[in-house]
């Protein structure tokens, strides 16, 4: 069956409650902003397609609840993730201090070759109220831990698509390298090849159809059996 993308890959969004993970996902998939969001119960799911080096990469994104109460459920979604966004709020220092714990969880539960991006969200609020975490502190942590880094605002949309695209570009790069080494494990297993048809390619060029719904089970996002996968 043909698909409207060349590669499918899985992302997870993790971080303390209220740092803006769901708002980032809504901004990515629906290009809108909700002033009031409900805390996520378990996980939610969204999908977005990026063009990278002339190829279409569809990211299936699992947005997890930051609340401790859901930890055992949310951790079951880490498996198979090629990309992880570890999100904190630049106006709330504790959320930054906790980023190290989220990072540890991602490293122990996701794939070894997972690409991790540290995301300092709410830069709009920082401009209004002042920040508790400087850009340099975020950059330093990212450098020490070998992470990508970006500051975002789900409210204005600043750098939201770029955050995912930076990570997707790195995943794509690792995948192509692994493919060239004929290595089907590690990074070579973190993207699934689709079969974009000529008609689908034309439609994709005209606009990428995104979806966003609540999740219902720990699909790896690459098997096509998820609630909203289009495989």
The footprint of ligand GTP (CB under 6 A) covers 17-23, 35-37, 39-40, 65-67, 121-122, 124-125, 153-155
| Rounded Cα–Cα distance for residues 120 and 96 (Å) | 8
Closest residue to bound ligand GTP by CB: 20
User: How many other CB atoms sit within 10 Å of the CB of residue 69?
Assistant: 12
CB of 159 to ligand GTP, least distance (A): 10
**At a CB cut-off of 8 Å and minimum separation 6, what does 42 contact?**
64, 65, 70, 73, 74, 215
Please name which of 15, 22, 12, 23 lies closest in space to residue 98, comparing C-alpha atoms. 15
Region binding Mg ion by CB under 5 A among candidate stretches 19-27, 109-117, 125-133, 207-215: 19-27
The residue (of 65 and 204) whose beta carbon lies closer to ligand GTP is 65
The residue (of 194 and 221) whose beta carbon lies closer to Mg ion is 221
Q: Residue 124: which of ligand GTP, Mg ion, none does it interact with, CB under 5 to 8 A by kind? A: ligand GTP
CB of 191 to Mg ion, least distance (A): 26
CB of 34 to Mg ion, least distance (A): 11
CB of 100 to ligand GTP, least distance (A): 17
Which member of 40, 49, 89, 115 binds Mg ion (CB under 5 A)? 40
| Rounded Cα–Cα distance for residues 79 and 43 (Å) | 14
| Rounded Cα–Cα distance for residues 71 and 67 (Å) | 7
Q: Residue 109: which of ligand GTP, Mg ion, none does it interact with, CB under 5 to 8 A by kind? A: none
**At a CB cut-off of 8 Å and minimum separation 6, what does 62 contact?**
10, 11, 12, 13, 43, 44, 45, 77, 81, 215, 221
Q: Where do contacts with Mg ion occur on this chain (CB under 5 A)?
A: 21-22, 40
């Amino acid at each position: 069956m043909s698909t409207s993308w060349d590669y499918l890959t899985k992302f997870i969004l993790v971080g303390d409650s209220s740092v803006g993970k769901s708002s980032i996902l809504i901004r990515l998939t629906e290009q809108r902003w909700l002033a009031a969001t409900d805390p996520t119960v378990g996980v939610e799911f969204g999908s977005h397609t990026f063009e990278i080096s002339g190829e279409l990469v569809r990211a299936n994104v699992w947005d997890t609840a930051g609340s401790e109460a859901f930890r055992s459920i949310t951790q079951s979604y880490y498996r198979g993730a090629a990309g992880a966004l570890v999100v904190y709020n630049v106006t709330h220092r504790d959320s930054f201090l906790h980023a190290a714990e989220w990072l540890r969880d991602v490293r122990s539960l996701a794939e070894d070759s997972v690409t991790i991006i540290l995301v300092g969200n709410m830069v709009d609020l920082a401009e209004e109220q002042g920040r508790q975490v400087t850009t340099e502190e975020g950059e330093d942590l990212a450098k020490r831990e070998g992470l990508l880094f970006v500051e975002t605002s789900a409210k204005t949309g600043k750098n939201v698509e770029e955050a995912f695209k930076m990570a997707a570009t790195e995943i794509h790069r690792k995948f192509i390298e692994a493919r060239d080494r004929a290595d089907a494990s590690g990074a070579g297993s973190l993207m699934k090849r689709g079969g974009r048809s000529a008609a689908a390619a034309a439609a994709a060029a005209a606009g990428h159809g995104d979806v966003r719904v609540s999740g219902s089970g720990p699909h790896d996002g690459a098997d096509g059996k998820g609630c909203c996968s289009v495989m």
